[in-house]
Amino acid sequence: MAVIWQNILTFLQGVLRFIGDPITILNQWLTGVLSGWGANATLIQVILAILGGASLVLGGLFFTVFLIWLERKVGGRFQDRLGPNRVGPWGLFQPLADMVKIFTKEYITPTGADKIPYNLAPVLSVGAVLAVIAVIPFASTIFGVNINVGVVYLMAVGAIGELGIIMAGLGSNNKYALIAGFRAVANLISYEVPMVLVLLIPVMFSGSLGMNDIARSQNVWYIFLAPLSAAIFFIASIAENSRAPFDLIEADSELVAGFNVEYSGLKFGMFYVADFLHSATAALIFATLFLGGWRGPGAESIPILGFIYLSVKATVVYFLILHIRFTVPRFRIDQMMNFNWKFLTPLALVVLAATAVVDKAIPSNLTALRIGVNWIVNIAIWVAADRLVRVVAPKRVVPEVARPRPLARPPLANPPQAAAEHEPGGEA
Amino acid sequence: MIPLSWYLILAAALMGIGLYGVITRKNLVGALIGLELMLNSVNINLLAFWRYLHYAQPEMDGLVFVALAFVVAAAETAVGLALIISAYRSRKTVDVNEMNLLKG
Amino acid sequence: MSAGQVIFLLVGAVTLGSGIAAVNARKMLHAALWLVLSLLGVAFIFALLEASFFAVVQVLVYIGAIAILIIFAVMLSRSSLTDEGTQTNPRWWLAALGLLILFVGICAAILLWPKVTSIPAPLPASATDLATLGKELVNPNGYLVPFELSSILLLATLVGAIYTAVEKKEEIKK
Amino acid sequence: MFTDWIYLGIFLVIAFALPLAAITFAGVISPKKPNPIKDSIYECGIEPIGESRIQFKVQYYVYGLIFLVFDVETVLLFPWAVAYNQLTLFGVLEAVLFIAILAAALIYAWRKGALEWL
């Protein structure tokens, strides 16, 4: 009897351990199985790498289906609609139906299209976003790869995405697509400048470029040490995935539908997937860099907890992105460029320099003092920037579209201003 | 293991291709593209020497040189393209053979 | 032949092939796109050399900025878009011949050099650590002067390029 | 370390190959009935006039240029940021000088009117 109990207990312990840290245990198990089949160590590593990579990529692609549903549902609620609600419970299967439809749509290649760039563009777009997943640490043991240049890799992969947009614009043989593509790229590269600048701050604090190292080193969330940089990074990453208010790429009222007008079927679908997945990865990256990533109570010993923490943090950020998307009107392109080059970039430069000097001046073991001084400096910079904008910015001439008009009703016999005319000082 | 000579020969070939582009292209932008290839071949060489011929203590010279080569390459491209745009604006061509103002 | 050598040969072939295509393409836009592929190949070569930081920076700077700048510049000059005639000088074969001889000469020189067969020692951990590079860059006895000078070079680049490229106000009025 | 890169290479191949495979697969199962009207360029139903590869204004180039300058700057600043914890205050101030010179570049571009879209 005792033996059976013992067995059940060990089994339960095993299950718990598996739930706590599935990837490591799966890894060990697969390694055992494969070496049992007589594979050598290199081959096992390669096979595991292929399996891991394929599962991450496929997971990303199918997760997008859920993201699309989420975005439509949340967007519906923001706009006082129901959102998808016919196919499946709460319309959950709607994106699946869309997927089937988009798979069977005809590809229409416009006349005069440049075949190779035209067909390569959607692959580059979606591949660049998928490649980001490789360096995101989902938990202390669950990550694709912790290369020692993870942060720069993120930016480099973004460059491939820009290339995809340029190719789509050039290949389509369409003026609208070309203009939209070039505007999109001008937009993306512009907002990359403040993004890279504030990206240096987590790197400075953690002393590493690896994403997992950055997550691991956050005893204090970096948003508390560098609130202004976090804000700049957040704004720039919204602009990078071209969400409203920066959605000039898809400015439907100006540029038909952006650089992907000439695409149909799954080629268009790939741009769509890239778009949705991009904002999800942006939320994940923000959570990793500034919100402590998978860090939380007990996350070191039980990796799955870290995964849950990261999901919660990323969901909050993602919801914020959605909130901004559905409530803020679009910028004009000149406003957008001005905002970036004349406000965000100088601000990022100042914040970077100030944070570097201030944080060096304070010993790093005085955490409370560090946070306090950093906040004071950040707030001071923000106030100064705000004042400067008001002083320097040219006075806007507001066109008279809302001139006071004559009222339909006659003025009151005793205007209420009469009471205000009594000077309080006159009494003395 | 890959021998050092492979990298050097690859860099030499890339340098030759780039130089060919610079010499033969009529279009100035095309010449600049050739120049980019040449700069890259230099970087391959620098990194290969850094990787293969560093002795006892780690030498950062190779890496610093590559970093500075990046800066110089960026400066060269930016100014070169600006000159091309300026030339195009005044002469409406980017053809090297038609820029013969000094020919007399 | 080891796996590393196979990868090297593949990447090298792609790099050189797309390089040749880049200098021969009729349309400048295609040349720029071939250049991108070639630069990507160079990035992989850097990764093979275990210079991971520069492999990534290669993509970031060359593909993300320089190639895009070249494409922008191509789109600015109309004649380079429409001109689809032969893009090379008539005596291109002379250049090709000369460069081939040069290439063979360089190869001979490389292969005769005694150190060419040296096998790379495993990199010490401090060599792959970027912090070493960073400290060296701001070390007054190291590379501080080039570091600051590169900043000034970038400033000069920006000033010069903007001064050259942006139209003067009088020209706009004309 | 190096195995990380092999893994990353495999991951990149998968990340780019899977969408390619999906697109090819959808191309096989989807109908193919092209006709000239359907394939014509979509410009709001109006016949396209002239070449589609139009000339662009110089502003794109200027933004690209400023971006290039700042992008290259980060090449030098990233190693510095990694070494930040091991540097003295002097080392930090050197980098601040570096950033200040770049800020001067940005201010020049601003004064020169190069940042205006119009």
Residue B97 per-residue DSSP state: G
CA dist list (Å): A224 to A114, A138, A209, A236, A373: 49, 22, 20, 19, 11
Q: Report the alpha-carbon distance of residue B3 to residue B48 in Å, rounded.
A: 10
Q: What is the mean pLDDT of residues A291-301?
A: 80
Q: Do C56 and A170 touch (CB under 8 A)?
A: no
pLDDT digits (tens, 9 = 90+) for A56-73: 888 888 888 888 888 888
Which tokens sit at A86? 């016919």
CATH (domain of D90): 1.20.58.1610
Q: Do C68 and A209 touch (CB under 8 A)?
A: no
pLDDT at C34: 92
Neighbours of chain B (3+ CB pairs under 8 A): C, D
Q: Is the peptide bond before D31 cis (omega within 30 degrees of 0)?
A: no
The total domain count for chain B is: 1
CATH (domain of B47): 1.10.287.3510
Beta bridge partners of B27: B95
pLDDT tens digit at each of 104 positions of chain B: 788 888 899 999 999 999 998 888 888 888 899 999 999 999 999 888 888 876 555 577 788 888 899 999 999 999 998 888 888 877 777 776 676 666 65
pLDDT at C78: 63
Q: Report the alpha-carbon distance of residue A197 to residue D87 in Å, rounded.
A: 19
Helix/strand/coil percent split, chain C, to 5? 80, 0, 20
- Largest separation between any pair of C-alpha atoms in chain C: 67
- Check if the beta carbon of residue A172 is closer than 8 Å to that of residue A118: yes
Which tokens sit at C113? 């050099």
Residue D105 belongs to some domain of the structure: yes
Residue A350 vs residue A428, higher pLDDT: A350
d(CA D55, nearest CA chain A) in Å? 10
- pLDDT-derived band at A402 (thresholds 50, 70, 90) equals low
Q: Do C131 and A149 touch (CB under 8 A)?
A: no
Residue D19 belongs to some domain of the structure: yes
Q: Do B13 and C28 touch (CB under 8 A)?
A: no
pLDDT at C173: 47
Q: What is the mean pLDDT of residues D72-93?
A: 88
Q: For residue A166, which residues of chain C lie inside 8 Å, CB to CB?
A: 68, 71
pLDDT digits (tens, 9 = 90+) for A209-249: 888 888 888 888 888 888 999 999 999 999 888 777 777 66
Q: Chain C neighbours among B 21-40 (CB < 8 Å)?
A: 21, 23-27, 29-30, 32-34, 36-37, 40
Residue D51 belongs to some domain of the structure: no
The pTM score is 0.88
d(CA D90, nearest CA chain C) in Å? 9
Q: What is the mean pLDDT of residues C78-90?
A: 61
Residue A428 pLDDT greater than 70, yes or no: no
Residue B52 belongs to some domain of the structure: yes
Q: What is the mean pLDDT of residues A122-140?
A: 87
CA dist list (Å): C63 to B37, C36, C77, D63: 13, 6, 21, 16
Residue B90 belongs to some domain of the structure: yes
Residue B19 lies in domain: 4-95
pLDDT at C5: 86
Q: Do B44 and C45 touch (CB under 8 A)?
A: yes
pLDDT at A236: 92
Q: Do C54 and B47 touch (CB under 8 A)?
A: yes
Find, among B41, B6, B48, B1, the residue nearest to B21 by Cα. Answer: B41
Q: Report the alpha-carbon distance of residue A309 to residue A291 in Å, rounded.
A: 10
pLDDT digits (tens, 9 = 90+) for A9-18: 787 777 777 7
Q: For residue B39, which residues of chain C lie inside 8 Å, CB to CB?
A: none
The total domain count for chain D is: 2
Residue A36 vs residue A198, higher pLDDT: A198
- Is the backbone of residue A256 left (phi > 0), alpha (psi -120 to 50) or beta? left
pLDDT at A296: 80
Average pLDDT, chain C: 82
Q: Do C165 and D104 touch (CB under 8 A)?
A: no
Find, among D105, A156, A357, the residue nearest to C150 by Cα. Answer: D105
Q: For residue D93, which residues of chain A lie inside 8 Å, CB to CB?
A: 357
- The CA angle C16-C22-C26, to the nearest 5 degrees, is 145
**C21 vs A: CB within 8 A:** no
**DSSP secondary structure, A245-298, as one string:** TS-GGG-TTTSTTSTTTT--HHHHHHHHHHHHHHHHHHHHHHHHHHS-TT-STT
Residue A289 pLDDT greater than 70, yes or no: yes
Residue A88 vs residue A16, higher pLDDT: A88
Percent share of chain A, pLDDT over 70? 87
Residue D117 belongs to some domain of the structure: no
Which tokens sit at D11? 């991951």
Identify whether residues D31 and D62 lie together within a single domain.
Answer: no
Residue B101 belongs to some domain of the structure: no
Residue A112 pLDDT greater than 80, yes or no: no
Residue A129 vs residue D5, higher pLDDT: A129
Q: Chain D neighbours among B 18-57 (CB < 8 Å)?
A: none
Residue D32 belongs to some domain of the structure: yes
pLDDT digits (tens, 9 = 90+) for A151-194: 888 888 888 888 898 888 888 888 788 888 888 888 888 899 99
Beta bridge partners of C88: B25
May I ask the CATH architecture of the domain C3-83+128-173? Answer: Up-down Bundle (1.20)
**Closest in B5, B60, B88 to C136, CB measured:** B60
Residue A10 vs residue A415, higher pLDDT: A10
Q: What is the mean pLDDT of residues A111-140?
A: 86
CA dist list (Å): A99 to A103, A273, A417: 6, 11, 64
Q: What is the mean pLDDT of residues C82-110?
A: 79
Residue D99 lies in domain: 58-112
pLDDT digits (tens, 9 = 90+) for C10-42: 999 999 999 999 988 888 888 889 999 999 999
Residue D51 pLDDT greater than 90, yes or no: no
Under 8 Å CB pairs connecting chains A and D tally to 224
Average pLDDT, chain A: 82
pLDDT at A137: 86
